[in-house]
Amino acid sequence: MELYRLTAAELSRMMQKKEVSSVEVTRSVFDRIAKKEPEIEAYITLNEENALKKAAEVDEKRAKGESLSSLAGIPVGIKDNICVKGLPTTCASKMLANFVPPYNATVIEKLNASDCVYTGKLNMDEFAMGSSTETSFFKKTKNPFDTSRVPGGSSGGSAAAVASGEAIVALGSDTGGSIRQPASFCGVVGLKPTYGSVSRFGLVAFASSLDQIGPFGRSVEDVAMLYSAICGKDSYDTTTVRREYPRFEEKLTGQVSGLKIGIPDVYFGQGVSNEVREKVMEAAHRYEQMGATLVPVTLPNTDYALAAYYIIACAEASSNLARFDGVKYGYRTSNYSNLEEMYENTRSEGFGDEVKRRIMLGTYVLSSGYYDAYYKKAKFTQKLMQGMFHEAFQKADVILCPTAPDTAFTFGANSDDQVKMYMNDILTVTVNITGLPAISFPCGFDGKGLPIGCQLIGDKFSEQQLLSTAFAYEKAAGGFDLSRTLD
């Protein structure tokens, strides 16, 4: 079997037994990239020379008998809004097309300590603004299950690379569903951690109070391994929380007996396709057969979630992206005669349409006369939603629902209808607004053979419960089927 087809956990065990080397695994992945990348277009920047050099260093350490982490020598893809020293970090934008950061994000420093191998920087929606990876300045990443369809977004490159064998695991970021929705569309596992459990230092900010870095993998164990490596307190990010984090992969019991699983009717209603609803409910009943109890939960303020999310996210984006003005770094227009023209033309030429749309919306809701009418009400709604979930978790240990209302759509299908595009996030944004963790894992396929994602939402810092619950389903289902995309 080709090594790129194996999970990180399988490869880790093989390398520890010295059955394969990191160089062999890394070469297998880059051979796969050479074959599939022209079709999938998951990467913006490849890192083959440095990756093979790092893999050789890991093999040398292992030969000397040094103690290594479970991720040592595992090829990892990095979303292109996470800074890696010496590698371009473009955010899939013309604005940062030539930016090479002089420092590492904290998550990269943590992966360095684990001796991971970086395959390269993965494509995304520009500045993480989108649900399809169609807003990238460089290319449109394809869904490995059907290349006429989108991989989801904004972390579409990360999900597609893992699903197609172009990376063993990957990092993405999730502001309103940008890990979970592409994981659903591409048939892989994606975890959005609790806000504050993973440092955002070195993540190019979209909406600072909503952004969170998280892992992709082909198995729950892979995701648990990668999350264990990146979580924890960071002095460079004051929003991170000091607490004890276990080695999550070591506590995957696969037991759900006695677990109370909440089923929110509002997440199964209008707008959710029949096939998605049926497959997710099948997953719920499988849990019931394993000894869990299904309980109805009420989430009464969900109808306001999407509006509140886009007001908060766009307001923060308009502030965060003000730094890109052509003065210190990034793109600068050549067409200007004074400072004001340089600012205006740089931003007009450097940002794509979706980024401009969100900046304008954010500036509007923060402007004099509209702050109270929009932004203040959105923040009030955020508090209501936090209380709503707090009440729900008095009745249930986890909440189960679809990740996305439908399976992957074709390129251009929603390009002329921004409201319809934004509706792709309707089942995921509440998690970011409330700072909760959630995981998406495959629970079947629709009639077209496209993956369907099941989402589990937990209370703050309940990642161990979420991972164990998802692992129980994976174990019962006999693993997740990626045979079509890995052949």
Q: Each residue of 344-369: pLDDT tens digit?
A: 999 999 999 999 999 999 999 999 88
Confidence tier at 415 by pLDDT (50, 70, 90): confident
Quote the longest CA-to-CA distance of the chain.
Answer: 71
| 423 or 274, greater pLDDT | 274
How far is it, in rounded angstroms, from Cα 415 to Cα 219?
Answer: 32
Strand partners, 146: 143
pLDDT digits over 232-262, tens only? Answer: 999 999 999 999 999 999 999 989 999 999 9
pLDDT over threshold 90, residue 418:
no
pLDDT over threshold 70, residue 419:
no
pLDDT over threshold 90, residue 193:
yes
DSSP 177: S
Which of 54, 79, 121, 460 is catalytic? The answer is 79
The two structure tokens encoding residue 329:
């770094």
Query: Do residues 439 and 402 lie in contact, with contact meaning Cβ atoms separated by under 8 Å?
Result: no
The dihedrals phi and psi of 482, each to the nearest 5 degrees, come to -120, 25
178 is catalytic: yes
Please provide the size of the chain in residues: 487
Question: Domain residue spans in the chain?
Answer: 3-256+439-486
pLDDT over threshold 70, residue 402:
yes
Residue 114, C-beta contacts closer than 8 angstroms, at least 6 positions apart = 69, 70, 71, 72, 229
pLDDT over threshold 90, residue 115:
yes
Q: Could you tell me what percent of the chain has a pLDDT over 90?
A: 95
The secondary element (H helix, E strand) that includes residue 256 is: none
How far is it, in rounded angstroms, from Cα 305 to Cα 337?
Answer: 44
Which of 93, 132, 154, 164 is catalytic? The answer is 154
How far is it, in rounded angstroms, from Cα 20 to Cα 16?
Answer: 9
Strand partners, 261: 294, 398
Mean pLDDT across the chain, nearest whole number? Answer: 97
Helix, strand, coil % over all residues of the chain, rounded to 5:
45, 15, 40
Which of 132, 178, 197, 228 is catalytic? The answer is 178
pLDDT the model gives residue 1: 74
The two structure tokens encoding residue 227:
């999350």
Which of 125, 214, 171, 137 shows the shortest CA–CA distance to 414?
Answer: 125
Model-level pTM? Answer: 0.97
Which 3 state secondary structure label does DSSP give 181? helix
pLDDT over threshold 70, residue 420:
no
Q: Which CATH number fits domain 3-256+439-486: 3.30.1600.10, 3.30.470.20, 3.40.50.300, 3.90.1300.10?
A: 3.90.1300.10
154 is catalytic: yes
415 is catalytic: no
Burial class (CB in 10 A: 0-12, 13-18, 19+), 423: middle
The two structure tokens encoding residue 446:
């629709």
pLDDT the model gives residue 370: 93
pLDDT digits over 65-82, tens only? Answer: 999 999 999 999 999 999
Which 3 state secondary structure label does DSSP give 205? coil
